[in-house]
Amino acid sequence: MDRMTVSRRHAAGAGARGLLLTVLGEFVLPAGQPAPTSAFIDVLGRLGIEEKTSRQTLMRAAADGWLSSERHGRYSRWRLSPVAEQFLIQGAERIYGFTGSQREWDHRWLLVLARVPETNRAGRHLLRTRLRWAGFGSPAPGVWISTHHDRAKEAERVLDEAGMRDDAQIFLAEHVAGGELATMVHQAWDLGEIETAYQGFLADFEGAPRTGALVGLTQLVHAWRRFPLIDPALPPELLPAQWSGVRAAGLFTERRLEWKPTANAEWQRITGSAR
């Protein structure tokens, strides 16, 4: 599970590892049955990955505990491990349920105070990376904030892994007075960069897929995977007036519903499971 958690950073990348993770979550997990090597080579090949690289990626995924292989005559089929299934189910809940904003907020903030010594570089990197994955922003050194109270347990796990549990504090707090909240929000998160990413997503997927539903759906989900990692999903009152996140989430849902039946039929065909 630790290796898979680290692999989240590969999810939004264009490399074979990240694309395989998308294929596993979008097609292999819902199908609930093993898939042949040829199916992965086929799909990844359509996405620009060479056969040799595809085979190596499958082997590395098996070494990392994602997959196990089954021999059927001269051919191999790949099955998700129980831990991989759990990981992908959790990821699916976050990816498919992500809406680009927080619909309800009681105006309380989850506040993490954690200063990592300069000598603990590994701990600093882990804390910064994992809290940002969880949607926290840092408006000042050693201070992390989120509008999602339900992520307190996740923050505790990160502090444990960074070896900072005993030297940190977690609070639920309310803003009583001071400067504009918008200023703090922009110090904590680069909303301009996130907005640019959303605009790119909208431009890429507003039209029909040029390479067929299977590739189009894979590219759609793969592109969307990054947003739960980079967007803190703030409530509308903390977002810029012209925020593209909600529109992008609507487009993602619409395109996925539109392309998925044809993509699933093609996946069944290349895996030999079509009825």
The mean pLDDT value for 252-272 works out to 95
pLDDT, one tens digit per residue, over 66-118 is 999 988 777 889 999 999 999 999 899 989 999 989 989 999 999 999 987 77
pLDDT above 90 (res 166):
no
| Per-residue confidence (pLDDT) for residue 9, from 0 to 100 | 46
What is the residue type of 83?
V
Give residue 275's pLDDT band: very low, low, confident or very high (50, 70, 90): very low
Structural Rg of the chain based on CA atoms: 20
Torsion over CA: 29, 33, 34, 35 (sign): negative
| Per-residue confidence (pLDDT) for residue 211, from 0 to 100 | 84
Tokens of 124: 């600093």
Mean pLDDT of the chain: 90
pLDDT above 50 (res 239):
yes
| Per-residue confidence (pLDDT) for residue 217, from 0 to 100 | 96
| Per-residue confidence (pLDDT) for residue 14, from 0 to 100 | 56
Least confident of 146-155, 162-171, 197-206, 215-224: 162-171
Give residue 163's pLDDT band: very low, low, confident or very high (50, 70, 90): confident
Give residue 261's pLDDT band: very low, low, confident or very high (50, 70, 90): very high
In this prediction the pTM is 0.87
Least confident of 50-64, 133-147, 160-174, 186-200: 160-174
Q: What percent of the chain shows pLDDT beyond 70?
A: 94
| Per-residue confidence (pLDDT) for residue 135, from 0 to 100 | 92
What is the residue type of 195?
E
pLDDT, one tens digit per residue, over 173-211 is 999 889 899 999 999 999 999 999 999 999 999 987 778
pLDDT above 70 (res 5):
no
What are the distances in angstroms from CA 262 to CA 25, 219, 220, 256, 265? Answer: 17, 15, 14, 11, 5
Give residue 219's pLDDT band: very low, low, confident or very high (50, 70, 90): very high
Complete DSSP assignment for 118-185: TT-HHHHHHHHHHHHHTT-EEEETTEEEES-GGGHHHHHHHHHHTT-GGG-EEEEEE--SSS-HHHHH
- Domains for the chain: give ranges and CATH numbers: 1-103+190-275 (1.10.10.10), 108-174 (3.30.70)
Give the long-range contacts of residues 163-166, CB within 8 A, separation 24 or more.
Answer: 163/120, 163/123, 164/114, 164/116, 164/123, 164/127
The mean pLDDT value for 154-178 works out to 90
Give residue 13's pLDDT band: very low, low, confident or very high (50, 70, 90): low
CB-CB contact of 91 with 228 (8 Å):
no
| Per-residue confidence (pLDDT) for residue 4, from 0 to 100 | 47
Residue count of the chain, please give it.
275
The mean pLDDT value for 154-164 works out to 90
| Per-residue confidence (pLDDT) for residue 123, from 0 to 100 | 84
